[in-house]
Amino acid sequence: MWIARPAADDDVPSLMALAEMAPPHVHTLPRTHDAIEEAIAHTREALARLVDAPADEHYQLVLEDDTGAIVGTAAIAATAGSAGAYFSYRNDVVHHVSRDLRIANNVHVLTLNSDLTAHSQLSGLQVSSGHAAAATLLSRARLMLAAADRRRFADSFFACLPGQTFSDHTSPFWDAIGRKFFNMDYLSAERAVRGARNGTLIVELMPHYPVYVPLLPEAACEVIGQLHPAASTAFDILAGEGFEVDRYVDIFDGGPVLEAHASRLRTLSTTRTLTVAEAVDSRPGETCLIATATATQAFRCAMAPATVELDRGRILLSAATQDALHVGTGDAVIVASA
């Protein structure tokens, strides 16, 4: 049975292996030993806090297979602006009108903004080859963590997915805009900011005035808001959850930003708190997303068959599922539709 749980110190070697396998365009994944240790430390500290409102908390989750091997990781930040304002480009339209010439034009511009700063951010979904079927569990486990303690997270969520790049890992969008201000190629810039979109380098170097899209090269225009093919699984999972592409794109590669209010997310809107009944023999049941009911280091999440008795406020789980979740009779769990 696959289990999603908070990352721990022992997971560093496995997370390093996942980072080495990840393609360069996955910019939100911690890639160095120090960055991984930092993400785990932040997770441990965040889960130990008593939180009344979302702030700088970061939660790194891992995915275990039935042998205990780590086969995936994903993260969620309480607020995207924990290290400063989070920057993206907003698709806007400006109106240019000449009454004398009787000409009116609507022009597409990209406006640097920090609108997403107070949103919670989902990031860094990476699953090793052969385990793609478990990506949905890992992705949704982040929202189950949010459901376990809503005070820890914002009312709105977003995810920034990789945009289109060429086979040599160059980005036509970056080459048209960012490269002219950073004086470095796409991958070098990503390494310089460690995949972040709220560093001082962005404030200091990115153009603060609107970018007129018609002035960009055709290759750059064509990839605005377009998804990297390798991110299609992540996109489909988020879209199925209730996320939608809106007005924003990434400032480096022009990739799409998906947004949703908590009330529109399937996991958060269907979650119920139930009490675990006595263990039952393994038998067919409704497949549910099940997690421990507290946002602590002991948080665990699984997809498993269960018998839900809403009228009695309880759930019947097999002994194997109880063991996997580290719960027993009388414990509270949160349950969402699969």
The domains of the chain are located at 3-90+111-267, 271-337
52 strand-pairing partners: none
The topology under which CATH files domain 3-90+111-267 is Aminopeptidase (3.40.630)
Q: How many other CB atoms sit within 10 Å of the CB of residue 233?
A: 15
DSSP state of 262: G
In one-letter notation, the amino acid at residue 124 is G
Task: State pLDDT tens for residues 203-234.
Answer: 888 989 999 999 999 999 999 999 999 999 99
Element (H, E) at 276: strand 272-276
pLDDT of 284 higher than 70: no
- pLDDT at residue 292, as a whole number: 98
| Cα torsion angle, 109, 112, 117, 122, sign | positive
Q: pLDDT for 168-211, tens place per residue?
A: 889 999 999 999 999 999 999 888 887 778 777 888 889 899 99
Distance CA 129, CA 71 (A): 8
User: 156-160 and 120-127 as β-strands: parallel, antiparallel, unpaired?
Assistant: parallel
Per-residue pLDDT reduced to its tens digit, 17-59: 999 988 776 777 888 899 999 999 999 999 999 999 999 999 9
Element (H, E) at 138: helix 135-148
Topology of domain 271-337 in CATH is Barwin-like endoglucanases (2.40.40)
Query: What is the pLDDT confidence band of residue 130, given thresholds at 50, 70 and 90?
Result: confident
pLDDT (tens digit per residue) in 288-335:
999 999 999 999 999 999 999 999 999 999 999 999 999 999 999 999
